[in-house]
């Protein structure tokens, strides 16, 4: 008799992680995976093309829940996921990461007493103002199986009294990156007419960075000045919503492009010189591609990338104090 696993995904990082396990599930006839896509990321580049390029089976359920405040989004997901779980009666709920989709899946399953497996458990930024931090903590505390990508994640769970069914599983995003590297192509940099290792990749999407116009301007000025030191063009795959906040004088110094699909984004990373980002996933992908990264946050859950010298945190003192600006080659030398 087949065992049902109900996989809940809704955002780009979850598509990437789920692809790795979904490909493995295909090789086990006793597993029936049912994929639920909440719709949290809903445009074609952020969703449909990812499924195609990552060879993820099409979702059985698509909830189309997006563009809502955190509470409303999580609540609607919770309601619909509960109905699906009652209908499908799975033996296990599989959740990834720290999105609203993750939390909604964890809460719905815990209320129905269905075991939960959390991939990427135990990560902590210790910034309670981040919605993702609340999502990951609550999800961990109701999960039955906790698959940790790092030993630090295991230590974090132990400090919170969680020690049963905790496993060091490694990082599935590394497997996903290896899958992407096999298909790396120069097509994207040829199309954009940029030269290999002559540009920096920039991404910014977190609410705490994009909601405050003055903070965003200060941060972007830092990126512009830092890239000038290293004579690098800045390439920013930007969402239209974020672009509306940016002043024209800033955009004159940054090459903005439409959001990229999964494979093109990996190719853009592969041929870049450095990465500026507030994304947790992109910090790791930069590390896997051995690209220096500056994280545009005051903390990171991926402390290992800092300790290994490939990543550093941004703060406003770096912008106001030129002597604190660390050049790209210095980062590379330290890492090596």
Taking CA 330 as the corner, what is the angle to CA 312 and CA 276, rounded to the nearest 5 degrees? Answer: 40
- pLDDT for position 67: 84
Pick among 3.30.70.20, 3.40.50.300, 3.40.50.2000, 3.40.50.920: CATH of 187-335 = 3.40.50.2000
Q: What is the 3-state secondary structure (H, E, C) of 306-317?
A: HHCCCEEECCHH
Distance in angstroms (rounded) separating the CA atoms of residues 45 and 103: 24
b vs e for 54-75, b when ≥16 Cβ sit within 10 Å of the residue's Cβ? bebbebebebebbeeeeeebbb
- pLDDT for position 304: 92
Class of 3-181 in CATH: alpha beta
CATH topology match: 3-181 vs 187-335: yes
Distance in angstroms (rounded) separating the CA atoms of residues 163 and 132: 22
Dihedral sign for Cα atoms in the order 40, 61, 18, 111: positive
Mind telling me the catalytic residues? Answer: 205
Using a cut of 0.75, tell me whether the model's pTM lies above it. yes
pLDDT tens track for 176-218: 999 999 999 999 999 999 999 999 999 998 777 777 888 888 8
In sequence order, the 6+-apart residues with CB closer than 8 A to the CB of 30 are 1, 2, 3
* Residue 84: both structure tokens together: 């699906």
b vs e for 172-190, b when ≥16 Cβ sit within 10 Å of the residue's Cβ? bbebbbebbeeeeeeebbe
* Residue 246: both structure tokens together: 């940016």
- pLDDT for position 330: 55
Contact predicate 101/10, CB 8 Å = yes
Distance in angstroms (rounded) separating the CA atoms of residues 17 and 9: 9
Distance in angstroms (rounded) separating the CA atoms of residues 139 and 146: 10
- pLDDT for position 47: 61
Contact predicate 286/277, CB 8 Å = yes
User: Which sequence spans correspond to the domains of the chain?
Assistant: 3-181, 187-335
In sequence order, the 6+-apart residues with CB closer than 8 A to the CB of 101 are 8, 9, 10, 11, 14, 38, 40, 77, 95
- pLDDT for position 250: 81
Distances in Å between the alpha carbon of 75 and those of 65, 80, 180?
10, 9, 34
Residues of the chain with pLDDT under 50: 316-329, 331-333, 335-336
């Amino acid at each position: 008799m087949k065992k049902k696993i109900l996989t809940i995904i809704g955002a780009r990082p979850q598509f990437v992680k789920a692809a790795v396990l979904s490909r493995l599930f295909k090789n086990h006839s006793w597993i029936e995976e049912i994929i639920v896509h909440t719709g949290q990321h809903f445009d074609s580049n952020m969703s449909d093309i990812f499924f195609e390029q990552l060879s993820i089976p099409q979702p059985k359920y698509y909830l189309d829940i997006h563009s809502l405040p955190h509470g409303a989004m999580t609540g609607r997901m919770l309601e619909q996921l509960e109905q699906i779980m009652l209908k499908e009666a799975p033996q296990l709920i599989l959740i990834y990461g720290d999105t609203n989709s993750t939390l909604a899946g964890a809460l719905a399953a815990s209320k129905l007493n269905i075991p939960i497996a959390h991939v990427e458990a135990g990560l902590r930024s210790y910034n309670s103002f981040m919605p993702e931090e609340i999502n990951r903590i609550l999800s961990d505390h109701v999960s039955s199986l906790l698959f940790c990508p790092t030993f630090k994640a295991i230590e974090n769970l132990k400090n919170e009294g969680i020690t049963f069914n905790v496993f060091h599983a490694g990082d599935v995003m590394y497997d996903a990156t290896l899958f992407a590297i096999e298909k790396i192509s120069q097509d994207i940099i040829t199309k954009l007419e940029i030269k290999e290792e002559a540009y920096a990749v920039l991404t910014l999407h977190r609410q705490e960075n994009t909601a405050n116009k003055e903070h965003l301007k200060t941060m972007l000025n830092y990126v512009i000045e830092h890239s000038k030191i290293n004579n690098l063009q800045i390439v920013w795959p930007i969402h239209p919503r974020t672009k509306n906040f940016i002043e024209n004088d800033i955009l004159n110094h940054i090459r903005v492009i439409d959001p990229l699909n999964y494979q093109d984004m990996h190719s853009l990373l592969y041929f870049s010189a450095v990465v500026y980002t507030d994304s947790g996933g992109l910090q790791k992908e930069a590390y896997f591609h051995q690209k220096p990264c500056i994280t545009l946050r005051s903390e990171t859950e991926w402390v290992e990338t800092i300790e290994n010298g490939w990543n550093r945190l941004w703060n406003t003192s770096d912008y106001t104090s030129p002597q604190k600006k660390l050049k790209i080659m210095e980062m590379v030398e330290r890492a090596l």
